[in-house]
Structure 1
Amino acid sequence: MRFSTLLTGLFVTFLVLFTETAFSQVTFRKGYFIDEQGVKTICLIKDTDKTQVPGNILFKMDEAGPIVERQTSTLREFGFEGLSRFIREKVMIDRSSSDLNNLSTDKNPIWSEEVLFLKVLVEGKASLFYYTDAKNEHFFYSVDSSEIKQLVYKKYLVDQLIVGVNNTFRAQLMQTMHCDEINKNELEQLQYQRKALERYFNNFNASNGQTSFQFKEDPERERFHLKLAPAMNQASFVIRELYDPYTVFDYGQNTGFQLGVEAEYILPFNRNKWSLFIEPGFYSFHKEMPVKNGISRVRLNIIEFPVGMRYYLFLNRNTKLYANLLFIPGANIHLNTAIETKYKYYSSILDVNELYNFGGGLGITYKKLNAEFRYYTNRDFLQRDINYYTEYNRMAFILGYRLF
């Protein structure tokens, strides 16, 4: 069986597996909910990856159990053990828009009483809560289990050209959460942002001799990875004349190795499922064919710099499937690259100047190892030539190792 046929079969098989897994994957995490009577149920809850609390949750008592739907309006609390906690509370909330096109001229909050599910961010002597309505982010707080109140932050129009900001949240924290370990300048510069507020609440709790519990939806992971990415390429090379379809130089197929490294950055959202990467690599293609009164040779030695985006499907703690798309720029480094035909009395050399192309791959990662099947779209190495163009088709099997 030829290498290209083997790769094609493996790619199709893996594509079917990836597609089935992508459509069937429903992640249930260990969690709990507490009903209005205070009864706590430990179960597996579907993880929706949404920042807003849904109108219902889907849960099952164990992996083999049936999926049950429960309205969140009938719950007092729910969450994922150690990762997140949502509590239902009656609070006063200001929903004034922060959209510059819909700002109010009133600097004061416009209060309304609502029952909301608040996400607990920091729990301790001082606790921090979070709520979003898809347009604005709202933070709430409580000290010594007191009434939960919103931290006031509101943008408003001073006139048609000037936007003012009501930063009352700083005064609220000064009155209720001031201590010697936190200086006034730090508080005056505090931003109405999640990380900044979490840090402030943690520092306050620590200064009062108490340990905060901070919920983190995702464990801290390394965002940057460096991998070795050697590959085995199967490629074919054909030169065709633009105005004569019968003039064809078919150099056939060539199997060769590619040396590469990959730098990957895991994007900090959507459960670490997306990443961006760049994969510099060196590959070569050397073939020759007889022509009338001579011989024609192709010699490609190229360092290319593909960039791409990757999506992961987590199967378990150590194993994940992934799919990626790549863009390969036309600006590459050529090392002794030439397309040359030598006849008895003269030589013809074509100017190598390739066009960009794309690639797509499906792979699997197990701990530090990964294997990937990748296809590349056709590449023209004679884009500036007015008489000829090339058909360079390539597919690869990559076996990688993550250094860190």
Structure 2
Amino acid sequence: MRLHEYQAKDVFADAGIPTPPSALATTVEEVVEQAEEIGYPVAVKAQVHVGGRGKAGGILLAEDETEAREAAEDILGMDLKGYTVEKVLVEGAVDFKNELYVGVTMDRGAGQPVAMVSTQGGVDIEEVAAEDPEAIAREHIDPAFGMHPYQARKAVYDAGVPKEVARDVASVLTTLYDLWEDTDASDAEINPLMITEDDEVIAADAVLNVDDDALFRHADLAEMEDEAAEDDLEAKANEYGFDYVRLDGNVGIIGNGAGLVMTTLDLVDYYGGEPANFLDIGGGAKAERVTNALDMVFSDENVDAVVFNIFGGITRGDEVAKGINEALGQFDQIPKPVVVRLAGTNAEEGREILNDELVTVEETLEGAVQRTVEYAEDEQ
């Protein structure tokens, strides 16, 4: 479960992490009222589950009532990467001199939690990791013992955090790890952790994603689930019985098995693309399920091309191909390029059946992913 920023900040503040004064608003008048109470300048921040809100116009600063009203009118109701903004966080603006990143997640390669610190906060941390990985200090944690104080200090020191605030940043990192562990989170991040002119540290953003399977242990967090509402596509996925996660890229991914979909995600990233979703339609690929899956992916305005990775096991490849043809035949016009990789039982027969006027057929997964990434780049 992904918490909204305002929900995560409540959790962080309760744990002792400094956060700016803030209040939730759902109307223009509420934004103005809350801004007056907090005191200008304020930031008006869209509360939707997407990254890059600032670049997309979902975060605006306001110096007075007129600007607060204009910001609220611009953001409330806007379509932000496929999400309709229905609520905003009105937050006291922070006068800062530096922005840091701190985060805790699971390093599945190492099989351990990892705490991370970087002095390049305020930007997409994935970009930092790709372009300058040495800019992120990492400290692996033995979950049997938790984070030792020296590990937090080491991560802060290795990142090059100024000594004036090093102790406070280490304290925030330790608290963040404790929260990550206590809430059964998959990710806990602050980006940016702002450093003020008075050398105070303040969490200007908050990310907390909790494992759905652990919510029975966290009644207080489970109560937030309805408030952290799904977007229309996620709701539709539940209706169809699909395992679906919306991402920020433009390459739509459909597969019939979690392993197949995860592999496809990795290859899209490897070949320079950005996945738009994780969509597992489950065993088999009958026409109705294929139609529903394509309808979902085509409805995502971020998607520029779709890769369909199907393995015919119990369901034969020729039956899968018939299902894909039937599903695509129900669309008056195929809105986005579709690439199909079909393997397994009767895969060759299935590839011959596929209508190559509607889809591009590739024999290998690598070829299918590369072709889809190319299509997505051409569409931009």
TM over 0.5: no
TM-score by structure 1 length? 0.27
Normalized per residue, which structure has more strand? 1
> Is the radius of gyration larger for structure 1 or structure 2?
1
TM-score by structure 2 length? 0.28
Of structures 1 and 2, the one with the larger relative CO (CA 8 A, separation 6+) is 2
